[in-house]
Amino acid sequence: MYSFINTIVHFLKKIVPESLVEPLRPIYHRALSFIMALAYGFPAKKLVVIGVTGTKGKSTTAEMLFAILRTAGYKTALLSTIRFALNDDSEPNRYKMTLQGRGFAQAFMRRALRAGCTHLVIELTSESVLQYRHWFLALDGLIVTNIQREHIERHGSFENYVAAKRALVETLARSSKKSRILVANSDMPETEAFLSIHGITQAIGFGAGDMHNITSTDRVVSFDYAGEHFSIPLPGSFNALNALAAIKLCSAFGISLAANASALAALPPVRGRVVHVDAGQDFIAIVDYAHTPDSLQALYDAFKGHRKICVLGNTGGGRDTWKRSLMGKIADNSCNTVILTDEDPYDEDPRAIVAAMAEGMRRTPEIIMDRREAIRAALRAARSGDAVLISGKGTDPFIMGPNGSKAPWSDAAVVRDELERLLTKVC
């Protein structure tokens, strides 16, 4: 059904003028959400559905939930920005989109049921709200990791962006499920307000003050919570917060703290999120998705003890132009060497994007527009003990160019390839 609808929509796009389509979009998206849920038999009603939303940390938190639920013995599915998983079977998300439309979630949930899954972890975005993709998900639980300034052009204002996130919480509040558990960041006024929304059966706040003895190395963050010690193989206090959100939700579903701790201690690497690329070099090479000012600062803070060589661009030409100079300023203040490069220009001049970033910097950055060349230069400049931090793409499988063009890409693969070439020359 999903493939059939997809084919029809692609055909209609070619023959129906955009001017006729635009006024009908809300009706179209609402109708399509209902039709696809009906066609697949409202599969969310037969699953325990846990949503994860927020500006940053969604994918990592979703992976943590997936790991905890599976360790607790539940057959679990995962639909995220990074991948689609059904128990042990996993495939990368190559759509460059967190949640596909046209009934993709409904089709995936039906697959999950056929695979014997009882639980689903699903990432939810503000974009999915605009297109009513969050309808008919029958949520049992929802985590709101945080809300930062992002997607402002798409929503028209920060207030509209917050309203889209609130709509997801209200979806939970209206769910037909008996348990409607919300876990939201109580350190932020926008998300703290969600905890008082009527219809939530259990509202749980989380924040930095809930944790004790937080320590972080280049590879591990650990903390104590409610008498249990947690050690997660990811660096940074931000990942401690992601873990705490997952722990609180899973605990509300009856999973013991000891089971949470065991699952998180054995957490597999989260693709594209603070990924160490090791090829035998004597310095650190990291690939990370950081694409907001806050996430970029958090990444740099996780490697404070190192001389940092930073490679970055600015995700998404034609959007969130407000953050370009700010991200340049953060890199300028935090990194010993800054290399600005191409990322996803879409239809915008990539050099104009980089120039806007450079406006926020006191020093003159090195500008290398070819992303591979930029990564190569950063690795060649690294000395023993340095940290080369390559941000913005994470697991993104393409560099998006003009007129819908896209070039296959993998930051991690390029870093490994260039490291191996570098080490071969040294040897």
- CA-nearest of 41, 182, 60 to 109 is 41
Q: Which CATH superfamily groups domain 275-426?
A: Mur ligase, C-terminal domain (3.90.190.20)
pLDDT of residue 8 exceeding 60: no
What is the pLDDT, as a whole number, of residue 151? Answer: 75
What is the pLDDT, as a whole number, of residue 426? Answer: 66
Torsion angle defined by CA atoms of residues 369, 331, 319 and 286, in that order, rounded to the nearest 10 degrees = 70
Predicted confidence (pLDDT) per residue in 214-270, tens digit = 999 999 999 999 999 999 999 999 999 999 999 999 999 999 999 999 999 999 999
What is the pLDDT, as a whole number, of residue 222? Answer: 98
What is the pLDDT, as a whole number, of residue 99? Answer: 82
Confidence bin at 318 (pLDDT 50/70/90)? confident
Fold of 2-265: UDP-N-acetylmuramoyl-L-alanine:D-glutamate ligase (3.40.1190)
Confidence bin at 1 (pLDDT 50/70/90)? low
pLDDT of residue 13 exceeding 80: no
What is the pLDDT, as a whole number, of residue 152? Answer: 76
Confidence bin at 84 (pLDDT 50/70/90)? very high
Calpha distance 313→328 (Å, rounded): 9
Per-chain mean pLDDT for the chain:
92
What is the pLDDT, as a whole number, of residue 223? Answer: 98
What is the pLDDT, as a whole number, of residue 38? Answer: 95
- CA-nearest of 234, 304, 308, 294 to 269 is 234
What is the pLDDT, as a whole number, of residue 148? Answer: 86
Confidence bin at 4 (pLDDT 50/70/90)? low
What proportion of the chain, given as a percentage, has pLDDT over 70?
94
Predicted confidence (pLDDT) per residue in 381-418, tens digit = 999 999 999 999 999 999 999 998 999 999 999 999 99
Residue with the larger pLDDT of the pair 28 and 190: 190
What is the pLDDT, as a whole number, of residue 263? Answer: 98
pLDDT of residue 174 exceeding 90: yes
The domain spans of the chain are 2-265, 275-426
Q: What is the mean pLDDT of residues 128-151?
A: 91
Q: What is the mean pLDDT of residues 78-91?
A: 96
